[in-house]
Amino acid sequence: MPGRIRTVLEMIKFEHSIFALPFALTGALLAARATHQPPKGWPTLRQFFWIIVAMVAARSAAMTMNRIADVRFDKENPRTQKRALATGALSLSFAWLFTIVAVAVFFVAARQLNVLALKLAPLAIAILFFYSFTKRFTNWSHLFLGFALGISPAAAWIAITGSLDWRMLILCAAVTMWVGGFDVLYACQDVDYDQRAGLYSVPRRFGIASALLIARIMHSGVVALLAWLAYSFALPWPAWAGIGVVAALLGYEHSLVKPGDLSKLDAAFFAVNGYISLLFLLFWGAAAAFWRV
């Protein structure tokens, strides 16, 4: 059993939950502080707990669906041939069962938060699952992935308040561009296979050099959107310091990847983006604490 659990966690890249979760928690903090809900303007531990459960469950379901949808490609692609479904370490029937259980847990978590969260839960799952099929028909599947994670701050705001402030859409757009940009970088590894398999991506369509430029443009947009968000909420200095840190780390991430050298791509994808999300939460959490609303 412990071995199977490890295999499942590896299949869904459980550790990557850290990418979107800090942005969702930031959305929850801003919601509670801006609306003075719950009491004293801070999320309760119960709300934090169910938001985390909902995020992890939704992402686990989405990642498993992605592996189910792509199992044929994973078997053919040299980079992905050792994935659990491709090798038979886990069966498709088990993957489907795991997906159903994860979706059920997500719905339970949404119900524990509020009525609107529960009503919108099916839409969230539909968005998450739809991404798995986008690489079959559009070069911009990276933005669909970004949007799938990008809805998390808005979902967290809804979880706290039972409504939505339009300014959360700015943070949703920032997360969409951030994730989309680093997925463009990651897709540079699969240009040759995507060409053979008839799959679509920005690197395949425009070439690796142009794809790196597009990713840089997208990440420049992230910084601009975060600045707009901080200004729209009139957030104090830690938020602006956090934007500076994010900009510096994004610049460092792009310095690791060159058109003729993708050897440091894993470092750019995993380590740097993990630091970005955690430090963003740290600085913006401090901004929420200093924020006089």
Cβ-Cβ contacts under 8 Å for 165 (sequence gap 6 or more):
31, 34, 157
Which tokens in the block code for residue 171? 């943070």
Q: 87 to each of 13, 92, 93, how far by Cα in Å?
A: 16, 11, 14
- Confidence label for 3 from pLDDT (cuts 50, 70 and 90): low
Cβ-Cβ contacts under 8 Å for 98 (sequence gap 6 or more):
8, 60, 64
Task: Considering only residues 89 and 54, tell me which one the structure prediction assigns the higher pLDDT.
Answer: 54
236 phi-psi bin (left φ>0, alpha ψ -120 to 50, beta other): beta
φ, ψ for residue 253, nearest 5 deg: -55, -45
Q: Give residue 146's pLDDT.
A: 95
pTM for this entry: 0.94
User: Does the pLDDT value for residue 2 go beyond 90?
Assistant: no
Q: 78 to each of 73, 145, 177, 265, how far by Cα in Å?
A: 10, 22, 28, 17
* Partner residues linked to 258 by β-bridges: 261
Q: 156 to each of 40, 121, 198, 235, how far by Cα in Å?
A: 18, 12, 37, 19
Beta carbons of 21 and 277 less than 8 angstroms apart? yes
- Confidence label for 38 from pLDDT (cuts 50, 70 and 90): confident
**pLDDT tens by residue, 101-150:** 999 999 999 999 999 999 999 999 999 999 999 999 999 999 999 999 99
Nearest CA to 179 among 221, 228, 213, 233? 221
Q: 106 to each of 10, 28, 81, 207, 293, how far by Cα in Å?
A: 20, 17, 30, 38, 32
* Cα–Cα dist 218/214, whole Å: 6
Count of H-run helices and E-run strands, the chain: 16, 0
* Cα–Cα dist 151/127, whole Å: 9
Tell me the residue type at 177: M
- Domains of the chain and CATH, by start: 2-290 (1.10.357.140)
Own/partner contacts of 255-259, CB < 8 Å, gap of 24 or more, are 257/185, 257/188, 257/212, 258/212, 259/208, 259/209, 259/212
Q: Helix, strand, or coil here: 30?
A: helix
For residue 31, how far is the Cα from the chain centroid? Answer: 19
Average pLDDT over residues 244-259: 93
Average pLDDT, the chain: 92
